[in-house]
Amino acid sequence: MQIETILRPEMCFARLPGVSKKRFLTTISELIAERQASLSADAVYNALLAREQLGSTAIGKGIAIPHCRVETCDRITGALVTLDEGIDFDANDSRAVDLLFVLIVPVEETDEHLRVLGRLAELFHQDAFCQALRDADSERTLYEAATSFEAESS
């Protein structure tokens, strides 16, 4: 899986305000729904919140990969986000999260969902990848950093 198959430039958000986990989930749900007609902000928010209630999607080192399945989702959709200030995401290492990849998946895409999560975890465990994303100062540079790093590492 190449990241550009699930991430479009308009789904990158650089330096969003970091307030709280709940506020972040509300904001990102609205932003995703504005950009993908098949999704409603309420459906995305409720699915993301339900998944977080099962256990935090923070993977440590200031990174989280919130993910969920949504009935009306017609294709795997990613949103890449950096926050201007880290937020508590109940991470095992207690570090505030400032780098997130939100993944919305059609209900029937179970195997692909797991493959994509695995690939994202591989990418986010590379310090150079994470630093390139954190250094991005605009949506465009955030998208370019994500897609060019992956192309170079393939």
Please give the Cα distance from 11 to 68 (Å, whole number): 16
Q: Which entry of 14, 32, 45, 67 is annotated as an active-site residue? A: 67
Give the separation between CA 9 and CA 62, rounded to whole angstroms.
22
- Looking at residue 67, its amino acid is H
77-87/7-16 β-pairing: parallel
Please indicate whether residue 125 is annotated as part of the active site: no
Planar angle of CA 145, 148, 139, nearest 5 degrees = 30
How far apart CA 109 and CA 111 sit, in angstroms, is 6
Catalytic residue annotation: 67
